[in-house]
């Protein structure tokens, strides 16, 4: 066996030869290797338990992975290298991997190898998702998922996207794939396979650039949910009528501070429902998107935080940047912490990489840094299509010029585990996009709908309209960026990714740029539009120079938290969207910055690390202010119980902090949901329909819910304020505001006393309601795989409106495709998937602290599988209040060396 770090060159060559041998062996020894590995794991598990492991099932997974991974590292050779060698080091404290090479291609070769070594299961699953090949692994249950992703055409789009890449990026992408495949071709692959892939029985084939590019299309598409809102508003309008829907729209609108701070002058563009004649959709009582099986439910919010602070306000005199992207907790982690070092090129970059994508997405180099949050622009539309089958059997659609034209068609064939024959179906497209309503069960006779999306634009159209621009070009340019102009030029290439990007440089500059493109629309509406109407078509794109940008604002900082991106508080001439998140997280960060700099104070990186864990909910604080102002005085409930007064007293003493030990936090979370449902019960026909209004998501496309998520707190506070729309909603349900408030308090008490089994409101705790875990895809299958692969996170502080975001579920009851949480308010939504902070001192002195939850490795035998979970869940028992700074001195460990054969 090839093992160790210091054997002779001849032995290295023997290991290199093992690559081809390993490929031959895979074909004839798979079942035998699985049996041997399982037997060895069963022997290893009792030993692990005897050595102190708490859970025998976790010990089994770790034992299986240890057998498959091999504790001794193998030196791999490859003829694909440009330089002499690639070295992979691992920081023992954080698990962050550093790759040292002589050329850019070799760096990316090493990154591909590192991603495969730490995240091979993740790479394989993500590739299969994008290509629509999950059914071949798990059987019938994934056919709907594969059909949707095949209909989107990510495989075909990825196959043509190489034309959008610059020459260096094409070479780098090839090298990245060679790195993944070098790990796949290692001698004795069974001794290097992760436990999760072995349990699943997956046999990864070599990865290609087309696989990576298809996944990038899938990833870009999954970030956009504007099209789902159109179905929601269409259903609302059909069921409730325009007057009520407009009132709901007023209640659900965002209150959004702009990126540079200050309340926006225009909060919300008026809703236009662009009603049509001659076509309609049919809505079943329950509508779940095929991809809903991928997610456990729906949450109250999503997004991310990022801010940059000028050196004029910092202790070091240099800018400070902070970023915490928000995604659902997952295993393996969504991000991979990595450092790319090529001294000859002047490259030393550290930050967050995305498995299956080369380069670094957010982080620092020796001169600059960039962070990202979701842009939330409206880059999708649903178009109703009149379709029919002509007598000659050809399917046609009615085009905007009044003529009938044949639908483009292709046949997809899906291999399904357990089936002798593949599932075949036909995908139809108009020039606007693929037909999706029939897939979703919405199509009525003679009607379907196409999905037009920025992420689904054809490569030829993108090449003609934008030139050779691609998000991979962006990431490469960020590796070398030294100035704001270079950063902005890089951002221009990210055509299909709508992001807020914040910037800091060692020369003192701070800046902001929104990426992506937004379609020019002649009409702005909330419902599906007519594909046959020329007035409703897209008319080119908002130019990059019209997208929001900023450099060195006078106030000395920039805060991005998915709020309205207009920098001066006014709408630009071009419509970018109206589905921004509330500005509360951003406003809270501004409060903290202003407090820290009052009287000439200076901000430190430690301040930013603490702010990332801030638990003050501005809506919660407002709710407590209402209680202190006497809004709830005199509310007794139908029974005259004193318990309502006790709850109000608890809230009066509250500072708005969503701490795990806070009883007021529990009361606020329950009350705001109860008052919303109490208002809706009067005119909404079902709890499921109410879920959809609250953003739980009539449709779920790989994300949790729709863009109405995150509006619940504002909606509840507006009801308590008795805003103008409230009368319409109350009248529709024949209710009064005092009656609604009283009923909401009663139901809050019933719900929390029943859940906690305690009658005294002062004894309730937010943490016992708001728990979470990191769920592995295999762990969703239940025992014993959940015990083998999942990681319990415990009690989680925060909510959707705190800087330390931890969104929870608003689902009222179980329904197909949307499993109920194990308990109310269980944290199954968005939360910080990573946190990092950097002080831009310049060069090697740049101080970067970074953490990835729950750990940087996806291997169950690794100490870095779940060693970071407490840093992101703010566990009280952990007592850890800082991030981990990866170090690369004498303590770093050489784990792999790749040398030329």
Q: What is the mean pLDDT of residues 131-156?
A: 94
**pLDDT score of 691:** 63
601 pLDDT above the threshold of 50 = yes
Task: Note whether 184 and 204 are within 8 A (CB).
Answer: yes
24 pLDDT above the threshold of 90 = no
Q: What is the mean pLDDT of residues 184-206?
A: 79
Preceding peptide of 332 cis, ω within 30°: yes
pLDDT averaged over every residue in the chain? 80
Between 417 and 680, where is the model more confident?
Answer: 417
Beta bridge partners of 618: none
| Range name among 27-36, 222-231, 237-246, 291-300 with the lowest pLDDT average | 291-300
Give 841's pLDDT tier (boundaries 50, 70, 90): confident
**pLDDT tens across 472-484, in order?**
999 999 999 999 9
CA distances from 167 to 105, 113, 174, 337, 359 (A): 12, 22, 11, 26, 15
Closest CA to 395 of 383, 385, 387: 387
**pLDDT score of 150:** 96
Q: Cα(283)–Cα(758) distance, rounded to whole angstroms?
A: 42
Q: What is the mean pLDDT of residues 867-877?
A: 63
User: What are phi and psi for residue 333, nearest 5 degrees?
Assistant: -65, 155
**pLDDT score of 488:** 97
**pLDDT score of 650:** 97
Q: Cα(706)–Cα(847) distance, rounded to whole angstroms?
A: 38
SS3 125: helix
Give 57's pLDDT tier (boundaries 50, 70, 90): low
Q: Cα(72)–Cα(77) distance, rounded to whole angstroms?
A: 16
Between 541 and 288, where is the model more confident?
Answer: 541
Tokens of 640: 């005259």
Between 49 and 378, where is the model more confident?
Answer: 378
704 pLDDT above the threshold of 70 = no
Maximum Cα–Cα distance for the chain, whole Å? 87
Task: Note whether 496 and 457 are within 8 A (CB).
Answer: yes
**pLDDT score of 278:** 46
Within 13 Å of residue 314, how many CA atoms lie on the same side as its CB?
A: 25
CA distances from 390 to 489, 533, 878 (A): 50, 21, 68
Q: What is the mean pLDDT of residues 360-375?
A: 94
Q: Cα(133)–Cα(178) distance, rounded to whole angstroms?
A: 22
Tokens 């499993």 found at: 819
With 0-12 CB in 10 A as exposed, 13-18 as middle and 19+ as buried, what is 745? Answer: buried
Between 158 and 563, where is the model more confident?
Answer: 158
| Range name among 111-120, 630-639, 850-859 with the lowest pLDDT average | 630-639
**pLDDT score of 696:** 55
573 pLDDT above the threshold of 80 = no
Task: Note whether 449 and 529 are within 8 A (CB).
Answer: no
**pLDDT score of 30:** 43
**pLDDT score of 878:** 30
Q: What is the mean pLDDT of residues 633-656?
A: 86
**pLDDT score of 479:** 97
**pLDDT score of 309:** 97
**pLDDT score of 736:** 93
**pLDDT score of 844:** 58
Q: What is the mean pLDDT of residues 414-435?
A: 95
Indicate the pTM of the whole model.
0.89
| Range name among 105-109, 118-122, 201-205, 281-285 with the lowest pLDDT average | 281-285
Beta strands in 552-632 (DSSP E): 557-560
Closest CA to 356 of 129, 135, 78: 129
882 pLDDT above the threshold of 80 = no
**CA 635 from centroid of its chain's CA atoms:** 41
Instruction: Label residues 71-91 b or e (16+ Cβ within 10 Å = b).
Output: eebbbbbbebbebebbbbbbb
Between 687 and 257, where is the model more confident?
Answer: 687
**pLDDT score of 636:** 78
Q: Cα(375)–Cα(232) distance, rounded to whole angstroms?
A: 21
Q: Cα(552)–Cα(549) distance, rounded to whole angstroms?
A: 10
469 pLDDT above the threshold of 80 = yes
- Please, which residues have CB within 8 angstroms of residue 405's CB and are 6 or more apart in sequence? 396, 397, 399
Between 355 and 29, where is the model more confident?
Answer: 355
CA distances from 689 to 442, 679, 749 (A): 16, 13, 24
Give 446's pLDDT tier (boundaries 50, 70, 90): confident
Tokens of 751: 């719900």
Give 693's pLDDT tier (boundaries 50, 70, 90): low
**pLDDT score of 6:** 31
Tell me how many helices (H) and strands (E) the chain has: 27, 29
759 pLDDT above the threshold of 60 = yes
75 pLDDT above the threshold of 90 = no
**pLDDT score of 126:** 96
Give 62's pLDDT tier (boundaries 50, 70, 90): low
Give 56's pLDDT tier (boundaries 50, 70, 90): low
Q: Helical H runs in 681-777?
A: 687-693, 712-721, 724-732, 737-756, 766-769
Residue 43's CB is within 10 A of a number of other CB atoms, namely 11
For helices 484-492 and 471-480, the axis angle rounded to 10 degrees is: 170
Task: Tell me how far apart the terminal alpha carbons of the chain are, to the nearest angstrom.
Answer: 18
Q: What is the mean pLDDT of residues 506-520?
A: 94
263 pLDDT above the threshold of 50 = no
Q: What is the mean pLDDT of residues 659-681?
A: 92
Within 13 Å of residue 382, how many CA atoms lie on the same side as its CB?
A: 28
**pLDDT score of 61:** 61
DSSP string, 219-265: HHHHT--HHHHHHHHHHHHHHH-HHHHHHHHHHH----B-TTSSB-S
């Amino acid at each position: 066996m090839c093992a160790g770090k210091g054997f002779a060159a001849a032995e290295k060559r023997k290991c290199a030869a093992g690559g081809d041998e390993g490929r031959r062996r895979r074909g004839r020894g798979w079942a035998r290797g699985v049996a041997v590995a399982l037997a060895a794991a069963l022997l290893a598990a009792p030993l692990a338990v005897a050595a102190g492991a708490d859970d025998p099932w976790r010990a089994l997974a770790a034992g299986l992975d240890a057998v498959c991974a091999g504790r001794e590292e193998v030196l791999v050779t490859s003829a694909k290298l440009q330089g002499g060698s690639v070295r992979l080091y691992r920081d023992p404290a954080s698990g962050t991997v550093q790759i040292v090479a002589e050329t850019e291609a070799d760096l990316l070769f090493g990154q591909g190898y590192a991603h495969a070594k730490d995240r091979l299961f993740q790479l394989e699953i993500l590739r299969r998702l994008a290509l629509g090949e999950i059914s071949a692994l798990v059987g019938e249950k994934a056919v709907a998922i594969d059909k949707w992703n095949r209909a989107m055409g990510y495989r075909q789009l990825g196959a043509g996207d190489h034309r959008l890449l610059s020459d260096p990026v094409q070479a780098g992408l090839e090298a990245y794939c060679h790195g993944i495949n070098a790990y796949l071709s290692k001698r004795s692959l069974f001794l290097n396979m992760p436990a999760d892939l072995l349990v699943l029985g997956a046999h990864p084939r070599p990865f290609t650039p087309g696989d990576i590019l298809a996944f990038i299309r899938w990833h870009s598409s999954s970030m956009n949910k504007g099209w789902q809102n159109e179905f929601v508003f269409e259903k609302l309008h059909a069921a409730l009528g325009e007057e009520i829907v407009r009132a709901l729209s007023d209640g659900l609108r965002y209150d959004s501070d702009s990126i540079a701070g200050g309340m926006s002058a225009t909060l919300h563009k008026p809703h236009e429902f662009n009603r049509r004649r001659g076509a309609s959709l049919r809505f079943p009582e329950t509508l779940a998107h095929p991809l809903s099986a991928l997610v456990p439910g729906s949450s109250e919010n999503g997004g991310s935080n990022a801010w940059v602070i000028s050196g004029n306000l910092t202790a070091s005199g240099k800018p400070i940047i902070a970023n915490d992207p928000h995604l659902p907790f997952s295993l393996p982690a969504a991000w991979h912490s990595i450092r790319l070092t090529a001294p000859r090129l002047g490259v030393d970059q550290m930050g967050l990489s995305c498995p299956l994508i080369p380069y670094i997405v957010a982080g620092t180099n020796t001169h600059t840094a960039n962070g990202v949050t979701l842009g939330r622009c409206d880059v999708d539309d649903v178009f109703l299509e009149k379709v029919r089958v002509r007598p000659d059997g050809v399917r046609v659609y009615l085009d905007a010029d009044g003529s009938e034209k044949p639908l483009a068609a292709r046949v997809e064939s899906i291999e399904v585990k357990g089936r002798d024959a593949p599932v075949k179906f036909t995908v139809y497209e108009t020039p606007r996009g693929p037909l999706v309503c029939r897939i979703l069960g919405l199509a009525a006779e003679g009607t379907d709908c196409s999905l037009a999306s920025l992420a689904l634009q054809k490569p030829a159209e993108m090449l003609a309209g934008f030139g050779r621009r691609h998000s991979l070009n962006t990431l490469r340019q960020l590796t070398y960026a030294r100035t704001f102009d270079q950063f902005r030029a890089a951002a221009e290439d990210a055509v299909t990714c709508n992001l807020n990007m914040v910037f800091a440089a060692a020369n003192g500059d701070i800046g902001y740029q929104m990426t992506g493109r937004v379609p020019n629309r002649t009409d702005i509406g909330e419902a599906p539009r007519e594909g046959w109407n020329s007035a409703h078509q897209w008319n080119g794109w908002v130019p990059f120079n019209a997208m929001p940008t900023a450099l060195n604002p006078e106030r000395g900082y920039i805060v991005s938290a998915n709020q309205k991106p207009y920098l001066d508080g006014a709408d630009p001439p071009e419509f970018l969207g109206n589905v921004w998140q509330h500005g509360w997280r951003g406003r809270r960060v501004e409060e903290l910055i202003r407090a820290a700099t009052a009287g000439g104070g200076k901000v430190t990186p430690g301040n930013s690390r603490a702010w990332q864990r801030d638990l003050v909910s501005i809506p919660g604080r407002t709710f407590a202010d209402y209680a202190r102002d006497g809004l709830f005085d005199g509310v007794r409930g139908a029974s005259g119980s004193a318990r309502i007064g006790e709850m109000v007293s608890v809230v009066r003493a509250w500072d708005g902090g969503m701490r795990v030990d806070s009883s007021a936090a529990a009361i606020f979370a329950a009350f705001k949901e109860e008052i919303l449902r109490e208002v809706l019960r009067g005119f909404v026909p079902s709890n499921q329909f109410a879920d959809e209004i609250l953003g739980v998501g009539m449709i779920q496309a790989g994300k949790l819910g729709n863009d109405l998520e995150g509006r619940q707190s504002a909606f509840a506070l507006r009801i308590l304020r008795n805003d103008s729309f409230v009368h319409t909603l109350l009248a529709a349900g024949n209710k009064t505001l005092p009656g609604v408030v009283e009923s909401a308090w009663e139901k809050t008490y019933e719900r929390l006393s029943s859940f906690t089994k305690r009658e005294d409101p002062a004894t309730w705790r937010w943490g016992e309601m708001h728990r979470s875990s990191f769920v592995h895809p295999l762990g969703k299958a239940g025992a014993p795989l959940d015990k083998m692969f999942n990681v319990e996170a415990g009690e989680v502080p925060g909510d959707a409106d705190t800087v330390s975001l931890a969104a929870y579920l608003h689902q009222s009851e179980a329904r197909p495709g949307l499993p109920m949480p194990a308990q109310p308010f269980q944290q199954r939504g968005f939360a910080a998937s990573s946190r990092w902070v950097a002080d831009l001192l310049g060069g090697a002195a740049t101080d970067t602290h970074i953490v990835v939850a729950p750990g940087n490795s996806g291997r169950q035998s690794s100490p870095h599988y779940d060693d970071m979970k407490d840093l992101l869940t703010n566990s009280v028992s952990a007592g850890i209040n800082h991030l981990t700074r990866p170090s690369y001195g004498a303590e770093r460990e050489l784990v792999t060396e790749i040398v030329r054969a």
